[in-house]
Amino acid sequence: MTTTGVIIDAWRALRAHADTCPQCHDTVVELSAVPEEPMRLYASLCRAGRDAFVLWDEAKRALPADSGPADRVLAQVREARRLFGFEGLDDAVANLRNRALDSMPTGAVARLRELDEGARMAELGAVEASIQHGDRMKHHQEEIDAGNERPCEGCDIRFLPQFERQRYHSSACRQKAYRDRKVQSRPRPSLLETE
Ligand SMILES: [Zn+2]
Ligand SMILES: [Zn+2]
């Protein structure tokens, strides 16, 4: 199902293209000003620009229930960008935000819109965090499946190293190993003398 996040994503792709394409630049600036007939501008886009336009246009049309005229939907997109703080985000953060919005039922997104900004961004942040957590768990499982675990040299627990030369699964194991080494290497004159 198409959600606001998909439309925003398609619009971002079109705008990102226009940022680097002299032929499409002015047209997309015109589009973002919500023209009466957005389709009229289609003809002035380059081939890649048209592809991005079509994806964006399709996303809008697939919006359930109140898709409305294209200009109104574009206004909704811009409103959603403002509401959900998309302006100025780098790609990775914006992608995460889109995934968060896409993962939410339409009703939940509508409810978010009603909240004040602090509460809205806090709820969105919680959804983003749970998506990131899911990504990490998936990555972790993939590493395990790929056989990238190794045994801790302190306690034999198998763990996924965070860096190439990591030998211990926890700082407690590393510190214990360090203490044990010191004890082993220390000369023990007092013991020898009393024997
Ligand atoms: Zn272009
Ligand atoms: Zn350990």
Task: Give tens-digit pLDDT for 63-80.
Answer: 655 545 556 667 777 788
Give tens-digit pLDDT for 8-20. 888 888 988 999 9
Q: How far is the CA of 50 from the centre of ligand 1 (A)?
A: 8
CA distances from 192 to 124, 143, 187, 195 (A): 67, 50, 10, 5
As a whole number, the mean pLDDT across the chain is 83
Tokens coding 110: 């509508």
SS3 state at 161:
coil
Contacts (Cβ under 8 Å, ≥6 apart) of 86: 8, 12, 80, 94, 97
**Nearest one of 79, 69, 3, 2 to 36, comparing CA atoms:** 69
Residue 78: the pLDDT is 78
pTM over 0.85: no
Bridge-based pairing of strands 150-151 and 158-159 is: antiparallel
Q: How far is the CA of 187 from the centre of ligand 1 (A)?
A: 75
Residue 110: the pLDDT is 85
Ligand at shortest distance from the CA of 22: 1
Ligand at shortest distance from the CA of 151: 2
Residue 72: the pLDDT is 66
Q: Do residues 168 and 154 make contact, with C-beta atoms less than 8 angstroms apart?
A: yes
